[in-house]
Amino acid sequence: MARPVPRRTSIWLLIGLLLIVAIPLVAQFGAKNGEWRAYAGEEGSTRYSPLDQITVQNVASLTEVCRLMVDDSGTFQAGLIQIEGTLYLTNSHDTLAVDATNCTLRWRNIYRPEQEEVYQINRGVAFANGRLFRGTPDGRPMALS
C-alpha cells in the first residue's frame, strides 16, 4: 500500500505547478508588441519575449545596427526599457532617450548631484502610469516625464 504524501510536500508541489503555469501567463501579458516596459521585460522579471525574429539559425549573422557615444564616464549597470519605439537607458548621472530604429538621441537629462553621492549604483529607469522615474546617486527619486 502506498504511503500518503506529507502535507508539506503536497503544498510545495502545488506551488511549483502554479509557478510553471503562472510564469508564462505573466510573460504573455508583460512585454507586448516588442516593448520592454520594465526591468527584465515585465513586472514578473521573467525576461521572456514573444518575439521570434532571432533564431538559432540566424543568430550568427546578426550585426551591429547602430552605436551611440555617451559623454558621461559612468557605468551602465541597469537594463534598457523600450516604450513606443524609444529606448531609455541610464548611467550614474545621465538618462537618455534613444530612437530604437536608428540610435538618434531624442533627449538627455543630466543630473548634477545636490548633495554627497551616497549610492554608487544605478538601477535604471522605471515606467508607471505614463511617467518615467529614476533614482539619483545622492538618494533622490526623480520623475522625468
Could you say which of 63, 90, 112 is where a domain stops? Answer: 63
Best CA proximity match to 86, nearest among 39, 137, 35, 50:
35
Per-residue pLDDT of the chain (145 residues; tens, 9 = 90+): 555 545 555 555 555 544 454 444 444 444 566 677 877 777 777 877 777 888 899 999 988 888 887 776 667 788 888 898 899 988 888 899 999 888 899 999 888 888 888 877 788 898 888 899 988 888 888 899 7
Are residue 7 and residue 77 in the same domain, yes or no?
no
Query: What's residue 86's pLDDT?
Result: 92
Are residue 58 and residue 5 in the same domain, yes or no?
yes
Q: How many residues does the chain have?
A: 145
Identify the CATH number of the domain in which residue 125 sits: 2.40.10.480
Are residue 73 and residue 118 in the same domain, yes or no?
yes
Are residue 80 and residue 10 in the same domain, yes or no?
no
Are residue 73 and residue 103 in the same domain, yes or no?
yes
Query: What's residue 22's pLDDT?
Result: 44
What is the enclosing helix (H) or strand (E) of 26?
Answer: helix 7-29
Number of structural domains the chain divides into: 2
Are residue 45 and residue 104 in the same domain, yes or no?
no
Q: Which residues contact 38 (CB under 8 A, 6 or more apart)?
A: 30, 45, 81, 126, 127
Are residue 37 and residue 85 in the same domain, yes or no?
no
Could you say which of 28, 45, 63 is where a domain stops? Answer: 63
Which grid cell sits at 131?
Answer: 511617467
- The Cβ of residue 38 has, within 10 Å, a number of other Cβ atoms equal to 20
Query: What's residue 24's pLDDT?
Result: 46
CA–CA distance, 29 with 26 (Å, rounded to integer) = 5
Are residue 48 and residue 70 in the same domain, yes or no?
no
3-state secondary structure of 12: helix
Could you say which of 22, 40, 63 is where a domain stops? Answer: 63
Query: What's residue 137's pLDDT?
Result: 85
Beta-ladder partners of 125: 134
The reported pTM is 0.69
Are residue 139 and residue 96 in the same domain, yes or no?
yes
Q: Domain limits at 143?
A: 66-145
Are residue 58 and residue 72 in the same domain, yes or no?
no
Are residue 93 and residue 53 in the same domain, yes or no?
no
